[in-house]
Structure 1
């Protein structure tokens, strides 16, 4: 089908920024669709559905006469009712891409355009990846820095170092309940949010989590304000404590920009260059700025491209033969069921906000799931639906590869399993916990400490072959109470 200059542009709910509908497409009419079947397809977090609907409806308002918002049972119904072929940018999941190609065959979609909401185009990543079968994020990240001239001094990185991770791993400050950083930007709800809340109540959808105030930006204007507040007031303290966890400070100095980034209302390069400007203007230390840029220009882009590189069957990987179903208390976000303070607070954060920061995802929730042998495919689905920033492309590589090592090392060099000592060091949870992180046996044995040794025992053959983990197997073999620990963990039903 020939693409006409006046062909309308259909936007998915994660393509709602000016990088998609501006520039060369600024003259086009815009189609937006609320598909009820998509809202009902999975048990999403209530606040996630609110964010998506609020974003769509705010986009309609902001685009004015350019936009048409159709509410229908399905996307196909809406396109048929619209009555005109549309352009669409590449969607962000395999299922959506397959669906769009089918719509193209049915002449409902005129053409599919490259994704504009990431820094590096998919075609250029394919050139970079070449014939590689194993990938290192550090290689990709350095090439990204060079390609986009970020924190560079000619051919060299500023400060003569690419990586400031060692300076960005401090535990939480002692004798403080909070980090003391200025509060993050919180959008002001309006009549659109009020109507969204009313409509979600009326739809009676199968959701998880609780309703709550909208915490995240869903429009380009809100995203700009959220970014500005982070850069001006929170970035200076971000780096040092980015891996720390504080019970009374869920946001700490994190940017809370994952939602607007994943909705497409904030472009990653805008965030990256704003952070770089803060360093060059002496408003934030280099370690903090580099750590933030690494998360976005490095890790986020890397996950996006590896999602497509590894293919739709990647979620079938289960190298560690983990098949235990997710427990009911996990899927229903019943944090009150949990005794372990770190796990209770992490699950409570998902229940109350649909969000926790990356260390709670990896070293609390992911670590627990890894130790207990939860099904990695089920876990991937849970993260994608229970987290407000968990779009379909985000979670497979983060969960299958990084968190659960289910791909056998294709993405990460070792499983990220740890005992209670790590959590005790990097959080302020253990002092208020009924479990002792130093104990692996007994009624007050930490389920992470004991669970770690059960994990090592279960996977000792794989771990012994890995230079980074073989010492754990040697340590386990010296435990005199190992049999008792394993029996205890086999029968443990409460955490």
Structure 2
């Protein structure tokens, strides 16, 4: 008898059932389990729950009689119903909790992971060779490009430079309101989506399962066909304009020229190699400039791959890092995505985007949502959990390094060389969000004091002893000595507490 293969809900592309390189047998029966306990443990964004369940059910429909799709309270109950007793194979899961579960089951063989460019043992060898401490993303990115021949001309980087960030950090055009990029791919819902929405309604009504955010029409691919269509649309119509303004923010144009492919990659519907190779072909054929191609390749072959590898390399203890000793709880308005309670236009706008879609691009995540949490001293574990629950592309492996390491600097600099936070001047330069705001980015104190500007200086003051020895922060910390209103600013920040800004 052929050994059944268990397919997790983020392993939905064809590569996860490929029989090559230690994969399951070509005719292996497939088991898929929809476990309600996942949604009981965490209060997920409703749009995220919809996307994951829709993707799983669509995949089951594609597999037809080959799959046994079980809806159960827990994975263990589902396995008992689906296969009784092992043997069973499963691809290496994407979270430590899931890996612990499958390893606790007798008779389960864990196959190598799929969906990433670099084998874990190769990364470990590279990281150990660098001392295992400060593992710079830029070094890793160049190593990956050399190893996979990505955007390379012989031994040299395409376009003569490894890094085109200088060309990819332009502010948005003044007064434009939108970049005017071609619209991104958007899927059409079907009967599967209707069924998912009815089930979610029933869970909330009868089973006490609670969600956050809104579940409008599904905005992200739930099938391989949809994901390939989204990739085609991005490369053919949007990639050319992606690079220059990838760090910009516009209130009326939240997607700009971004690919919106992260959820498809993280569901396993797309393979990272096919995405970066498509971008490279578009550059070599003259369809897109090198800085746009490189910016996209960097996001996938550089940052996404780097985060996946660090999640496993740093170990479980990394989850509990809190170098800045931040312990404040997340306030209710933030937990509830209550954008209407927030007066600061930048934060209100982005919180509304999360509420309505479960998505924003990387700069609002880092420099607005994450920066505000860092300035307010919120518990990094709680911030990590919030990002995990509230974003359609959020998984444990995605958010743990991104939030603990980069966004909240909770590892004390093991992943990044400085805290990523700023005053309102950065927001004003890189967006159109400050104009109609009741706060002014240049003001630190008073009724119109920008919460990011005041919060930035309060953060530097609170952590001066740690940060003044950081070469990238020395100049900023010394700026505290020039603030004649520092005492007033600190009193104001203490009085404000964690109410919505």
Fold-level match, TM-score > 0.5? yes
How far off its partner does 1:183 sit?
A: 0.7
> In the alignment, is the contact (CA less than 8 A) between 1:90 and 1:114 conserved in 2?
yes
1:283 and 1:7 map into 2 onto residues whose CA distance is: 47
Q: When the two structures are aligned, how many residues end up with a matched partner?
A: 487
Q: 1:290 aligns with which of 275, 290, 294?
A: 294
2:324 and 2:481 map into 1 onto residues whose CA distance is: 20
> In the alignment, is the contact (CA less than 8 A) between 1:218 and 1:259 conserved in 2?
no
1:102 aligns with 2:84: no
2:336 and 2:386 map into 1 onto residues whose CA distance is: 10
Partner of 1:8: 4
How far off its partner does 1:23 sit?
A: 4.2
How far off its partner does 1:65 sit?
A: 2.0
Note the 1:71-150 alignment, pairs <5 A: 71-82=71-82, 83-85=84-86, 86-103=88-105, 105=106, 107=107, 109=108, 111-130=109-128, 131-150=131-150
Other structure's SS at 1:351 match: helix
Partner of 2:468: 464
Other structure's SS at 1:393 match: helix
2:461 and 2:227 map into 1 onto residues whose CA distance is: 47
> In the alignment, is the contact (CA less than 8 A) between 2:141 and 2:298 conserved in 1?
yes
Partner of 2:158: 158
1:393 aligns with 2:391: no
- Per the normalisation by structure 1, the TM-score is 0.97
Any stretches of 5+ residues in structure 1 without a counterpart? none
1:240 aligns with 2:238: no
Cα RMSD (Å): 1.0
Note the 1:58-457 alignment, pairs <5 A: 58-82=58-82, 83-85=84-86, 86-103=88-105, 105=106, 107=107, 109=108, 111-130=109-128, 131-204=131-204, 205-457=209-461
Other structure's SS at 2:346 match: helix
Deviations 1:359-389 (A, max 9, x none): 0000000111111101101100110011111
Other structure's SS at 1:296 match: helix
Deviations 1:330-386 (A, max 9, x none): 001000010001100111111000111000000000111111101101100110011
Other structure's SS at 2:90 match: strand
> In the alignment, is the contact (CA less than 8 A) between 2:333 and 2:500 conserved in 1?
no
2:351 and 2:446 map into 1 onto residues whose CA distance is: 24
How far off its partner does 1:27 sit?
A: 2.5
Other structure's SS at 1:31 match: strand
> In the alignment, is the contact (CA less than 8 A) between 1:456 and 1:463 conserved in 2?
yes
2:75 and 2:500 map into 1 onto residues whose CA distance is: 43
- Per the normalisation by structure 2, the TM-score is 0.96
How far off its partner does 1:312 sit?
A: 1.1
1:486 and 1:38 map into 2 onto residues whose CA distance is: 42
1:478 aligns with 2:482: yes
Deviations 1:158-180 (A, max 9, x none): 11210000000010111211110
How far off its partner does 1:39 sit?
A: 2.0
> In the alignment, is the contact (CA less than 8 A) between 1:8 and 1:30 conserved in 2?
yes
